[in-house]
Amino acid sequence: MYCSVFSKAFSLFLCKGAIPSVVLSKKIAFSFSLSLSCRTFASMKIGNVEFGPYPVFLAPMEDVTDIGFRLLCKRFGAAMVYSEFVAADALVRMVNRSLEKLAVCDDERPVAIQIYGKEPGPVADAARIVVERARPDVLDLNFGCPVKRVAGKGAGAGMLQNIPKMLEITRAVVDAVDIPVTVKTRLGWDADNRVIVDLAEQLQDCGIAALSIHGRTRAQMYTGEADWTLIGAVKNNPRMQIPIIGNGDVTSAEICKQRFEDYGVDAVMIGRASIGRPWIFREIKHYLTTGKLLPQEPFSWYLDILKKQVEQSVERLDERRGILHIRRHLAATPLFKGITDFKQTRIAMLRAETVNELFEIMNNIPKKYGILE
């Protein structure tokens, strides 16, 4: 129900609100023909799911990649979208909050659901529940989350300190389900243990269908710069036959294209750069298709997208929780960066408690700061 309502609402927004339908066909419904510089890259497959050259995926992010945000990014050109990560133990115990994360709809396919855990039995059981209830196109194992409440308990990136257990879990899940199983992980635990080249071979031998690699160690968290050289080393390893998906610090269309060309990855995954900026997939797809940067839209176009996110978040949850949920996007969006003396307005937006209050602040921004359309 939610999928159909949101899809219809967003389609009307695109067609009637911000972009005329004639322009929509050019700017949203992208051609999949490739420029000359792109034709050296073949299509890739994960199981039976086929992608054209240069696929760009939405990364799994807790409290970010809910169904509404996934649908939005899909409509802007994401080739595949991932759910928030779901705790295997919670699924086995049938915790409602976790079961709710399994909701998917046809409009967002192909879609991956990501789970995490630290014991083979419960993770395999959770994988079966995911397939039975949601039937995603891909089931992804989280061996990369660096946050303390996950990695500190031995799950997520914590598994990089127990490779035998990681491989045991992976084999158990591959054997438990009949859909493609993939893994997302990091370069290693720390600078002295960057094990990804050997680990990638071991995970492939377990039967996974693709591997996503974030170019940092767990010790780095999100500090410093992502190191793509080891991602490239995995991709260029002649033993590797599965698709390799690179992730980390891809914040623009130009960087995305460079990552494809410099490291030969089969796909690129966008995470934090999409928060408050779901249109980044549109920008990237246009650039990869044409070789040209997409012209900027009027300020109100981007503002209306953020407002639509607010509305769908409130519709999915309720006014209080929906506004709390969307604050991360409002805080992270690049739309307001560079506006002089914007700090107090930003604080007011993040303190607003009702949709009316929030929209009054947002609607007043162009006039208050003299932003011309």
pLDDT at 372: 76
Q: Are 129 and 92 in contact (CB under 8 A)?
A: yes
Residue 325 has pLDDT above 80, yes or no: yes
The span from the CA of 308 to the CA of 287, in Å, is 25
Nearest alpha carbon to residue 110 among 40, 174, 182, 170: 182
For the annotated catalytic residues, the residue numbers are 145
pLDDT at 199: 98
Give alpha helix (H) positions in 163-252. Answer: 163-176, 196-205, 229-235
Nearest alpha carbon to residue 248 among 277, 229, 271: 271
pLDDT in tens, 114-148: 999 999 999 999 999 999 999 999 999 999 999 99
Q: Are 125 and 84 in contact (CB under 8 A)?
A: no
The span from the CA of 86 to the CA of 115, in Å, is 5
pLDDT in tens, 50-83: 998 899 999 999 989 999 999 999 999 999 999 9
- 3 pLDDT band, cuts 50/70/90, is low
Torsion of the alpha carbons at 328, 329, 330 and 333, rounded to the nearest 10: 130
List b or e across 208-247, with b for residues whose CB sees 16 or more CB atoms inside 10 angstroms: bbbbbbbbbbbbbeeeeebbbebbbebbeeeebebbbbbb
